[in-house]
Amino acid sequence: MKKRVTITLDPDVHRLARQTARKRKTTVSGLIEGLLQSATSTKDDDWVAGMTGITSLRDSAPGADPLYDALTAKYIR
């Protein structure tokens, strides 16, 4: 069960936290919780979780790049 806590932030920091949370599609509480979990994590393999989803395939015109077409057909469609 989650515990409710109260924190005090500078108004500018709070504004930036709200903007960042909105961009990441989470809440300020979720943002702070994630930051604290990553700051206190001691696992060596956490970098894999941090790398997940940070890249995307480039768009290519169909037929322009056979390798792109083959990989798209195999993994995306």
Residue 23 located in a structural domain: yes
Q: Is 66 inside a domain boundary? A: no
Tell the residue number behind the tokens 């903007």, with chain if given: 19
In a domain, 59, yes or no: no
Cβ-proximal residues to 18 (8 Å cutoff; 6+ apart), any chain: 28
| pTM (two decimals) | 0.51
Query: Is residue 26 domain-resident?
Result: yes
Q: What is the pLDDT, as a whole number, of residue 69?
A: 85
- Which residues, other chains included, contact 57 with Cβ-Cβ below 8 Å and sequence gap of 6+? 68, 71, 72, 76
Q: What is the pLDDT of residues 4-23, one digit of tens each?
A: 999 999 999 999 999 999 99
By the 8 A CB rule, do 18 and 32 touch? no
pLDDT of residue 57: 66
Neighbours of 14 (CB within 10 A): 13
**How many domains is the chain built from?**
1
Provide the residue range defining the domain that includes 11.
Answer: 1-41
| Residue scoring higher pLDDT (57 or 8) | 8
CATH number at residue 2: 1.10.1220
Mean of the per-residue pLDDT values of the chain = 84
